[in-house]
Structure 1
């Protein structure tokens, strides 16, 4: 069983799909690991570290040749996989809804595409969930980036010259990223509040010491979709939410938005009119900017100033913490494949529940039900 690790080629991608730690673990299962030279450089992992762990190193063509499985962060172009075994597995982020042509190309080439972002949110798959592991660190980084852009201190400081008031931070969207953003802002000493369309998150917000901001007048709307994801709300709820948020945003120093709906453009949470109510010098970090943005006027990898408010967001936030996000992503890969490792066959054999959820292509066809129709 030959597992290949390629250097990431997507613009701005600094992560790598395997670390020396996971290389050793895969070898312990009986696999042979091949890593492209320079694959880990941007994540602070040297070629010698991979070699010491037992991997062979070479060019992309050398590494992929006769590979049974290719692990990636972002799915490589099919051309890069020339030489891999027919029907080889490729496990990576595929952005299946946004990159349908790539999925079709994988089907045509005969590869079995395994979309790590389609990992079901069930208990036994938690350790395999790359979206959660990467979102966790993304929420942390969003707070640090916003704090760096904000021209004032976060905590309250009482000095002989007077008192510096604590920054007011508002988190919109309390998924994995939002919860970590709350925790990070609290650790930095800010006054933190948060909101979400899912009423069940109220207790989570309070458990982290933040103030929950929820619509109380519209009953019976939970906002909970399948797999724990948020769903789109009714017009009635959206109107009530907008009114509540508008009044709250005007008092905030930093706002961090994290709302995403799988397979759709990011929902608009903050309008230009709402931005205009904020204090000059305030900062908004849009974690969903790469998916269309939660904030009107946000631009990936740029700081845009509107009405005296700075609006920012990274196109690939996890890539700004490459060493740690790579370590977690690599463990997700190992946890995924090792959970199904068949010792007799010397390879992983996926079950139906998880296999059918993540498998996009097989036998020259697109087989995932979420992509059909």
Structure 2
């Protein structure tokens, strides 16, 4: 499909620079079949059924943004994906000043050697020393806010908490699974009282999630791989929910992509551990999920393509026009939607 089909105009003032407070006070646009409802995230329990199960991503965002120097040159690095105990693939700012084998000094006694430039321009960074890389990042790194927020304000102390979900446990993401930012202990208690269960999986979100689709046709776009895991107990639980007539609702596109990567042709969800580069566009047949809680996504992004695959392109174009006209807040810190095809 032509990528331009997924374009739309978004006024800059619709981009949220801070999350709603409290988190579950964000607005919720519900698309239930042909119906459209304007609600609040606190209304979510009433929009689902007893026996349904919501699946959250328990990845934890690491301080993956680094500022350093190679000689006189300023070098910025955004870690993307772990490739080994001390080695990360990274997108580099001012990469033309960096050559393979160069050492970058990130301050705080943190340095790394650049190597293996890839077709997408990324480089491998191998960190020096014996300390765990996580400790090095705590010293020298900062929270990697999405570029559409970072371009309009600096990262600050609030983001260290605001950009983590209540489920964050497994360190390794360089972007938050933002649909889950809306969930609070009070909302989880309401869901439980309504007979709606929850489970967790792990998908370490990479910085590639923010990269624009540069191809003119979706067939020419190559997704960046991300590492994920669904253990056997979780896979079994999801299958049991389905067998009993419940629905699997993914909290966020990251959970959805991993579930679909693990689902067989018959809809059975299998244990999964490894990389996934699944790219979901209209025409895809969903096998593992029955609905999605998600935020509002960028024009011509792989995530807008994904929700268009779930609900239909015309349906999502109309829904986004409705959201823009109605003052919904967009992107990572913005409002949410519940999509039930």
Larger fraction in strand: 2
The normalised TM-score by structure 1 is 0.29
With a CA cutoff of 8 Å and minimum separation of 6, indicate the structure with the bigger relative contact order: 2
The normalised TM-score by structure 2 is 0.31
Larger Rg: 1
Larger fraction in helix: 1
